[in-house]
Structure 1
Amino acid sequence: AAYMARYIAKNLVAAGYARRCLVQLAYAIGVAEPVSLLIETYGTGTVPDEKLEAMVRGTFKLTPRGIIDSLDLRRPIYRQTAAYGHFGRAEPDFNWERVDQAQKLALFSA
């Protein structure tokens, strides 16, 4: 879920909806969809955080299966994450660092 939260936040910022963004996802055992989705833009958002939450739910697959498939997490890439961290690196295999959904998100404001 941390990878997906990072991916969502980066795409929201890249789409111009905020300069800073925190995404929190909470799950319960036996429930595929997140029981909670929180987006906090720290006052830098161009639309209300609640609207961003609705956009995210309509754009991203937030089930565990959806996260695995969207970020292609079944590949053996975790040795690369063992040193220097998981986030903020421009490794081509770190799909959670892509901003490929920014254009799709930007269509919501059009």
Structure 2
Amino acid sequence: MKALPAVSLAVLLLLGGCGEQSDETSISSDRSPEQLVSRATAPTVVWFLENSDALEKTWKLCRSSPGDHGSKPACVNAGHAHERVLMLGRDRALSSLKQ
């Protein structure tokens, strides 16, 4: 009977993440930059590379007001994506991160 609480806890922990979608599938590319920046979970660098219009708009917002947005995770990820595009080009940047 002592194992029952441990098993119950393990099952609860395993099921805790069920029903959640990953950032890659739950973020619509037609969201405004303000919506992307204010999300609890930021779009990934790969997501920004795959959604160039959202990258450009989000990067513009982040750079226009770095005091308000610059340190937010979406701005940091957009910045990394922007740098990778400048250094490698979009296709090489994507392929280097997807390996």
The two structures share one fold, judged by TM-score above 0.5:
no
TM-score normalised by L of structure 2: 0.27
In proportion to residue count, which structure has more strand? 1
Larger radius of gyration: 2
TM-score normalised by L of structure 1: 0.25
